[in-house]
Chains A and B, each alone.
Chain A
Amino acid sequence: MKKQQFRVEDMHCVNCALRLQELEDTLPGVKSVHASYRTGKMVVEFEEAKTTNDQIIQAVRKLGYTAVIDS
């Protein structure tokens, strides 16, 4: 299980963070998503065998946001 932090700076309200958390239900292999509007960050816990950082970034883009890996 991998835990990766992303920067999602274009969230404009708490509801955006709630929408991103829905990835828990829609993206295969994702165990948990914790998105915070306050910090503009999203932490995703996922199985590397089932999904990748790029797939997560794509899924975020489909929701209308831009995710960047936070090093």
Chain B
Amino acid sequence: MPELLVAFITGFTTGGLSCMAVQGGLLATSIANQIESDITARAGRNPSRGFKIGLPILSFLVSKLIVYTLLGALLGSLGQVLRITPLAQAILQFAIALFMLGNALRMLNVHPIFRYFSFEPPASVTRFIRRKSKGETTFLTPIMLGALTVLIPCGVTQAMMAAAIATGNPLTGAGLMFAFTLGTSPVFFALAYFATRLGAMLEKHLVRITATVLIVLSIFAVDTGMNLLGARFTLTRLASNLIPFGEVAQLPTAVQPAADGNLLLNVVDKGYRPRTLHAPANLPVTLTLVTDEVYSCARAFLIPAIDYGVILDATGEKTVQIPPQAKGTVLPFTCSMGMYTGKIVFDL
């Protein structure tokens, strides 16, 4: 599940820092204050102080995790209704890229216009959250605060929410948001402990680091969008040409050119083997997609140029009829997230 790993790492790096900027000050600090009050009240009476400190923070994080996972499922369901064409997904990826880039430029104070990329919750919502955060210290308070963070998502979280829509699957959407929110948790946990010790200088560096990573991620999002449009020259395709995979050698039948028009493509967790298929020109071609316990986004197979898309079974075979193509035609294929790519070259 590489997309989940990517989501987790995004959460752990940029997501955590971004949450720190948007949600941290209002929510985590107020929790930390509550905890400090709690410690003061119990000082000298409870030797298991460390455990008591952690529990309210964990309640907050678990609550946040559950709510965002449910949100991911909801967004995935929404995407299932909206998503069909690779073009729509590509447009979504470009929108995500624009959003991330705008937020990065906003963080770097390039121009006030980029402030419009920030999400400002209505004053009534922030007022409600603020007043709740100043309530008595109970386990209900951190749980409620954790749930309420869903109303003030940070920039990276919003980008991840858009990615959850792009999955078009409630389970994958939920998994994506779960992995991402889980990734943000260590940073958030650390914040709750050390919020008061974070100096302005450190905060400034964190903002710059977040902005830089957002710029890099926006480039990847554009690349994903280009893959979904079937572009032949993208960073992913360039990288896949430079980095060979060992599995190809184990699949000799698939590597051979198919003069008779019957092609075999092995779909594995890490992509498609072989990455380049050779097919006869001016003849109908039958492409057989073979999966064997595949659970990554490689199962969502697309050939953008002929507007073909299918969600493959985890294990099984699926045939695709490709109409005759002129000699020299190249049909790029990709997974629905634009992460795994390959091509069919009609040169036989």
Docked complex: B23-43 residues within 8 A CB-CB of A: 24-26
Chain A, interface size: which category?
A: 10 to 19
Assembly CA distance A65 to B123 (angstroms): 19
A15-B26 in contact given A21-B123, A38-B115, A38-B118 (Cβ < 8 Å)? yes
| Contact code string A19-34 (vs B, CB < 8 Å = 1, else 0) | 1011011000000101
Docked complex: A1-57 residues within 8 A CB-CB of B: 12-15, 17-19, 21-22, 24-25, 32, 34, 36-40
**Contact: A38 with B127, CB < 8 Å?**
no
**Contact: A18 with B116, CB < 8 Å?**
no
**Contact: B120 with A15, CB < 8 Å?**
no
Assembly CA distance A18 to B22 (angstroms): 9
A13-B21 in contact given A36-B120, A38-B115, A38-B120 (Cβ < 8 Å)? yes
Query: Which residue of A15, A17, A24 is within 8 Å of B127 (Cβ)?
Result: A24
Interface of B is mostly: helix
**Contact: A14 with B22, CB < 8 Å?**
yes
Q: What residue in chain B is nearest A9 (Cβ atoms)?
A: B112
**Contact: A37 with B127, CB < 8 Å?**
no
Task: Please indicate the chain A residues that have their CB under 8 angstroms from the CB of B115 in the complex.
Answer: 37-40
Chain B, interface size: which category?
A: 20 to 34
Task: Please indicate the chain A residues that have their CB under 8 angstroms from the CB of B112 in the complex.
Answer: 40
Least CB distance from A35 to B in Å reads 8
Docked complex: B247-287 residues within 8 A CB-CB of A: none
Assembly CA distance A15 to B22 (angstroms): 6
**Contact: A14 with B127, CB < 8 Å?**
no
Query: Which residue of A17, A19, A22, A40 is within 8 Å of B120 (Cβ)?
Result: A17
A18-B126 in contact given A12-B109, A36-B120, A37-B118 (Cβ < 8 Å)? yes
Task: Please indicate the chain A residues that have their CB under 8 angstroms from the CB of B130 in the complex.
Answer: 18, 21-22, 25
A14-B109 in contact given A19-B25, A21-B126 (Cβ < 8 Å)? no
Assembly CA distance A14 to B121 (angstroms): 9
| 9 A-B pairs closest in CB distance | A15-B25, A38-B115, A34-B123, A14-B118, A18-B26, A13-B21, A18-B126, A14-B120, A38-B116
B interface residues, Cβ below 8 angstroms from A: 21-22, 24-26, 107, 109, 112, 115-116, 118-121, 123, 126-127, 130-131, 134, 152, 207
